[in-house]
Structure 1
Amino acid sequence: MKILVTGFTGQLGYDVVRVGKSRGYQMLGLGSRDLDITIKSDVERVLSNYKPDAIIHCAAYTAVDKAEEDKEACWNVNVNGTQYLANVAEKLSAKFLLISTDYVFNGKGQEPFREEDLPSPVGYYGYTKLEAEKIIQENLSKWFICRISWVFGINGNNFIKSMLKLADNRSELNIVDDQIGSPTYTYDLSKLILDMIETDKYGIYHASNEGYCSWADFAEEIFKLADKKMEIKRINSEEYPTAAVRPKNSRMSKDKLVLNGFNRLPDWKSALNHYLEAMRKEETKV
């Protein structure tokens, strides 16, 4: 199978290509320097030349706060870019998997959101990702939508790396405690995404590591496993104002994965432990 992956320079795209190659697939990973998905003619040229059997669309404008001001750039990447890719994918009869987000929901309540629940984004980033979802459903015959949350991977920046960096010169941190979700290791997620693309079980799926926690809980576990001393002061979202509203409830039900024969991802604490081990191995290579 020939698979084209956008967003290769990001956390998820990098791992999808890595895992795909380990399975013997012909993987083409493209970053924004290789392909500007906001230029229609470039998308048509690259995809038509490569003729992939499947496209895994990881590229996105993910600067949540910046998106509230730079709406045009966010729309161009998340909506127009997806439209251009989808148009060519349908002509090639290629399978298409869109990476979406928990931000398509309003974050209210405490119950896990199900795939069939009505999306209602509260920020512009979430709005553009929902528009991308609509494009996929309206224009493609072979599509998957995979909603994810709180990702971390070897390649690129993330919450874990930020926390460990802060631990070098801080002994106390204020961390939000009223936003609840599931941290997700891109390596675990990549295996599931490739499991999906191997099938014709199309539709919307929620995919994150098992279990829920707050950002403060997540930080505590990071420092504990990394053997770093840090005092964490738990605060609410209102004490840490941001340009974009963050969903307080990012819990997502993964029952549909099981119903369709896919394996749930490991518990987030186990995933974090494996990730920190992988980071140590990377550091010893340098």
Structure 2
Amino acid sequence: MEQPVKILVTGSNGQLGSELRQYAGLPGMIFDFTERATLQLTNEADVREYMEQVRPQYVINGAAYTAVDKAEETGAQEEAEAVNARAVGYLAKACTAVGAKLVHISTDYVFDGTASQSYKPSDHPNPVSVYGATKLKGEELAERYTDAVILRTAWVYSSFGKNFVKTMIRLMAEKPVINVVADQYGSPTYAADLAAAIISIIQSGKWVRGIYHYTNEGETSWYEFAGAIRELIHSTCMINPIPTADYPTPARRPAYSVLDKTGIKETYGIIIPAWRESLEKCISKLQP
């Protein structure tokens, strides 16, 4: 009888981690869900010891410091660097030591957003925020120390945790009018679809190291995304489109960060749903 595949998941209380928990009963897979209390990723000895004890075949690293604006503060920069960069290096080294394969989650924020067509994994990264810069360092360390599959994603939402979709639903219930940025373009990602893609990669029995992009299909602006949410929840709230300049934030956001997903589709045969279709699924969970 074939041994089940052991999968270690970090950041398991986040949106992606919560979606991956839905696969916990899957035959042929044993999951070990960890978070800060069970595994200190920023402590190299802890990581090495834990990995030697558990000896997983796969590690899905969903842990990240994601407070994008806070990361710009002097004190928080160090924490972002520790979680998004150094910890990834520790995990990657430990993966090599125990023969595990690493799936590392990264972000569209590694790009500056000045492109006019979708970013390919081979395009030159140029982060414009501390968050983006620390995530890029994490990618580099993952590639340096192990045979990693790096998945860059963007605009992640889910029925779990805090995200744009849930914020919009709340604001639309509370206010008659809201303002939403209309000049930033990207592709929303339903975390449930991202989780399914990762499981497919593991189940494929294939392992082609490198950087891949995964978001839902299609592109939109935050303003249009909010409009789609409004439509699906049948809200009467008015949405005003505003420029980024009218909504200043400590961290700069890429103005255009649509990701080219050809690589993941061709290498792993992943079928990616359209963003509106997935948004509908998520909202039907939030508002049955």
- Partner SS, residue 167 of structure 1: helix
Q: Relative to structure 1, is the Cα distance of residues 190 and 143 closer, same or farther in structure 2, using a 3 angstrom cutoff?
A: same
Match of 1:30 in 2: 34
Question: Is contact 2:172-2:178 (8 Å) kept?
Answer: no
Is the counterpart of residue 80 in structure 1 residue 86 in structure 2?
yes
- From 20, 23, 36, give the equivalent of 1:19: 23
TM-score w.r.t. length of structure 1: 0.95
**Amino-acid identity (%):** 37
- Partner SS, residue 64 of structure 1: coil
Higher deviation after alignment, 212-221 or 159-168: 159-168
Is the counterpart of residue 68 in structure 1 residue 75 in structure 2?
no
Q: Which runs of 5+ in 2 are unaligned?
A: none
Question: Is contact 1:254-1:264 (8 Å) kept?
Answer: no
Question: Is contact 2:200-2:270 (8 Å) kept?
Answer: no
CA distance in 2, matches of 1:5, 1:76: 18
Match of 2:183 in 1: 178
Match of 2:114 in 1: 108
Q: Relative to structure 1, is the Cα distance of residues 23 and 118 closer, same or farther in structure 2, using a 3 angstrom cutoff?
A: farther
Q: How does 1:86-235 map to 2 (within 5 A)?
A: 86-140=92-146, 142-198=147-203, 199-235=206-242
Q: Deviations over 1:30-81 (max 9, x none)?
A: 1112212111222122211110000000000011001111110111111111
Letter of the structure 2 residue corresponding to residue 280 of structure 1: Q
Q: How far did residue 16 of structure 1 move?
A: 1.8
CA distance in 2, matches of 1:253, 1:143: 19
Letter of the structure 2 residue corresponding to residue 133 of structure 1: E
Q: Relative to structure 1, is the Cα distance of residues 96 and 44 closer, same or farther in structure 2, using a 3 angstrom cutoff?
A: same
Question: Is contact 2:12-2:18 (8 Å) kept?
Answer: yes
**Number of residue pairs aligned between Structure 1 and Structure 2:** 280
TM-score w.r.t. length of structure 2: 0.94
Match of 1:284 in 2: none
Q: How far did residue 169 of structure 1 move?
A: 1.7
Q: How far did residue 22 of structure 1 move?
A: 3.1
Q: How far did residue 19 of structure 1 move?
A: 2.6
- From 10, 16, 30, give the equivalent of 1:6: 10
Q: Deviations over 1:93-131 (max 9, x none)?
A: 100011000000110022100011011111111001110
CA distance in 2, matches of 1:115, 1:176: 26
Q: Deviations over 1:220-276 (max 9, x none)?
A: 100110111111110111110000000000111111122214223100000000011
